[in-house]
Amino acid sequence: DAGVIQSPRHEVTEMGQEVTLRCKPISGHDYLFWYRQTMMRGLELLIYFNNNVPIDDSGMPEDRFSAKMPNASFSTLKIQPSEPRDSAVYFCASNDRGSSTDTQYFGPGTRLTVL
């Protein structure tokens, strides 16, 4: 069974450009989480969805960040305009709460570099 899929795996862009990160959760999982990881701040939760509905976006750093989940098998995280301080690894994770566990399964991440 395929795990969480993220694309692209690496993204290098210039300051001011729009960046779109994509995620496909594990089929049947009803929760989807977007995280950002840096050396300084560790793993930070940005936003999460339940059944495609955003539940908590309090971790989204500012209005330049937006996330959508148009259907159960796809989500995007967009940064517009991007800044060098957005450079980080962005992970998507999914979870099946119906399995009575809080275990989250992570995708391989997108390594973003903003020049």
Binding site for other proteins (CB under 8 A): 31, 33, 42-43, 45, 48, 50, 55-56, 91, 95, 97, 101-109, 111
Measured in whole angstroms, the distance separating CA 64 from the mean position of its chain's CA atoms is 14
Phi first, then psi, for residue 54 (nearest 5°) are -65, 130
Query: What residues contact residue 35 under an 8 Å CB cut-off, 6+ apart?
Result: 43, 44, 45, 46, 90, 91, 92, 93, 106
Which amino acid is present at 95?
A: N
Nearer of residues 33 and 65 to other proteins, judged by Cβ? 33
Nearer of residues 74 and 105 to other proteins, judged by Cβ? 105
Nearer of residues 45 and 72 to other proteins, judged by Cβ? 45
Nearer of residues 12 and 15 to other proteins, judged by Cβ? 12
Q: How far is the CB of 57 from other proteins (least distance, A)?
A: 12
Q: How far is the CB of 21 from other proteins (least distance, A)?
A: 14
DSSP H or E stretch at residue 86: none
Q: How far is the CB of 77 from other proteins (least distance, A)?
A: 16
Q: How far is the CB of 108 from other proteins (least distance, A)?
A: 5
Interatomic CA distance for residues 78 and 11, integer angstroms: 13
